[in-house]
Amino acid sequence: MANSFNVEGVVIKGTDYGETDRIITLFTKENGKVHGLAKGVRKGKSRLRGAVQLFTHGRFSMVKGKSLDLLTQGEIIDPFLLLKEDLTKIAYASYFAELLRNSCEENKAQPQVFILTLAAFSFLEENMNPELVARFFELRLLHYLGYSPLLEQCSYCGRRIANSQFYMTPWRGGVTCASCMAKNNLSGQRLSAGSIMMMNKLMKTDLSKIGTLKPSAQSLNEMADALAAYWAYYLDGALQIRQMLMDLLGEHA
């Protein structure tokens, strides 16, 4: 068919539509975020059913439609079954999927974001600390979206990151040292130099070595709060998405 095309993608959302259909949101390697109508997929015999489950990585055939493209065929590459068997992992994967859905434009190729998503899902499956995986995913997604926080020096005086206290100041695009905070009468989320260095490592370390990073519990807490504030500044709805994660973990952790 002239209007058909194939994509490789991950299912990041499914919304029931009509009696038996579902609108599937994919994050694809070729076209970034796309939507496709999977007709009849909620009927018992649909062959598409397995391939359009949440978080499934697969190859999909689509047909261009007037308002909505049709998702006509799906072939599973990796169902991420280990991820789907654990409620904590489901909570984090849902958090990543919602961040993608809300921050990425439709039909904009961002292959690095696609690779990042597969890596984050794999890390969850491999039992990596999910809070570490979340900070890794958030930092790199911010980078690919063009909102990377500057983590090399104070955003006011240029002081290098060394043994002193810093604070996350999203409106400055990065961190600010304690004396500049006091001088300008500012408030923000505290970040030790160690936490900032860990964030730099999460940004730059090769994917195969992310699992060797071992931040302290204090560092994980500081990074979580600082990045929540940073996301809230750059993305409408970020706080609600973080709250969704907290609610899921509160119920099931």
Provide the binding-site residues for Zn ion, judged by CB under 5 A: 154, 156-157, 159, 177, 180
Q: Which is nearer to Zn ion, 68 or 157 (CB)?
A: 157
Q: Output 25 or 169, the one with its CB closest to Zn ion.
A: 169
Q: Which is nearer to Zn ion, 9 or 188 (CB)?
A: 188
CB of 163 to Zn ion, least distance (A): 14
Distance CA 185, CA 124 (A): 40
Say which DSSP state 149 is in: P
Closest by alpha carbon to 27, among 91, 130, 90, 121? Answer: 121
With beta carbons less than 8 A apart as the criterion, state whether 3 and 63 touch: yes
Q: Which is nearer to Zn ion, 3 or 165 (CB)?
A: 165
What DSSP designation does 116 have? H
Using alpha carbons, select from 126, 71, 131 the residue that is nearest to residue 96: 131
**Residue 112 CA: distances (Å) to CA of 29, 32, 122, 143, 230:** 8, 10, 15, 10, 21
Tell me how far, at minimum, the Cβ of 159 lies from Zn ion, in Å.
Answer: 5
- Closer residue to Zn ion (CB): 64 or 183: 183
Rg (CA), the chain: 20
- Distance of closest approach, residue 199 Cβ to Zn ion, in angstroms: 18
Residue 202 C-beta: closest distance to Zn ion, Å: 23
Q: How far apart are alpha carbons 115 and 181 in whole angstroms?
A: 37
Calpha distance 3→128 (Å, rounded): 42
Phi, psi of 30 (to 5 degrees): -85, -40
Least Å distance, CB 152 to Zn ion, is 12
- In the bound state with Zn ion, the residue whose beta carbon lies nearer, of 83 and 154, is 154
CB of 157 to Zn ion, least distance (A): 3
Q: What's the rounded Cα separation, in Å, for the pair 91 and 98?
A: 11
Are 113 and 137 in contact, with CB atoms under 8 Å apart? no
Residue type, 207: L
Closer by beta carbon to Zn ion, 87 or else 157? 157
Q: Minimum Å distance from CB 181 to Zn ion?
A: 8
